[in-house]
Amino acid sequence: MLTYFKAFRRTLAVAAVALAAFSLQPGSAQAQSDPTAEPSPGVVGGTRATQGEFPWMVRLSMGCGGALYTQQIVLTAAHCVDGSGPNTSITATAGVVDLQSSQAVKVKSTQVVQAPGYDGSGKDWALIKLAKPVNLPTLKIADNTAYNNGTFTVAGWGAATEGGSQQRYLLKANVPYVDDATCQKAYGSALTPGDEICAGYLAQGGVDTCQGDSGGPMFRKDNAGAWIQVGIVSWGEGCARPGYPGVYSEVSTFAANIRTAAASLGG
């Protein structure tokens, strides 16, 4: 059961990564030649984000999302990276909702820290240090469970439908919290309570993150009205299926580890 469910990570398959250069076009089925065409609704069941709405959002070249933890460090999912150490192979795109915009800021990675002890079950976080700081706002992370409730926002450039292509424009959606006991009824022992938090419309489905959204943030407003990250897109059974909420790495569980790892990167 564990192996079966964990196979539905929300990153891209190798073949999909290779196709990303032309699939980041409007629409959810095939690339289109008209650069002004509207994309299909996405993240699944979402709408297009406006420029500057979530300025800390980052698209990573391996087909994942992320958020600026500092101006030089991206917080993403452990399953998006291949271990820890020097790494100059990742390109982070930031500052735009349209990945084809000439205003996009593109910066190479220099080093990666994957969650210590990550084995595919829980602990799904990683940090990517960039070659230089990006002059954009950052997204603070939750360091306790106070905000692990209510309605969350998710955003990403991933597929707008299960099995669909990646999106050119950043898409957003709202998803409600699903408690651990309810989520375990769907996923059984595949869920790692304490390491993971669930969200989605359990009865009807229809709104969810999907392949290519892995590593992106799940966030909400704190008591001061500022955005705070409570989850990292991790996995799920398909995308937006009734009875199967999205599963996210629970940021508050790992906040101290993330801070320590960021300090070690010096960013």
Contact criterion met (CB below 8 Å) for 71 and 61: no
Structure tokens at 17: 């990564």
Known catalytic residue at 195: no
Known catalytic residue at 124: yes
Contact criterion met (CB below 8 Å) for 174 and 81: no
Reduced DSSP (H G I as helix, E B as strand, rest coil) percent helix, strand, coil of the chain, to 5: 20, 30, 50
- Which one of the listed residues 23, 28, 79, 213 is annotated catalytic? 79
Q: Could you give the CA distance from residue 164 to residue 41 in angstroms, rounded to a whole number? A: 12
| CA distances from residue 25 to 32, 36, 66, 74, 99 in whole angstroms, order as listed | 6, 10, 20, 24, 9
**DSSP secondary structure string for all residues of 202-229:** TTT------TT-TT-EEEEE-TTS-EEE
Known catalytic residue at 40: no
| CA distances from residue 140 to 7, 143, 236 in whole angstroms, order as listed | 29, 9, 25
Largest Cα–Cα separation, the chain:
47
- Which one of the listed residues 214, 234, 249, 252 is annotated catalytic? 214
Q: Could you give the CA distance from residue 89 to residue 83 in angstroms, rounded to a whole number? A: 13
- Which one of the listed residues 23, 28, 109, 124 is annotated catalytic? 124
Q: Could you give the CA distance from residue 132 to residue 262 in angstroms, rounded to a whole number? A: 15
The residues annotated as belonging to the active site are 79, 124, 214
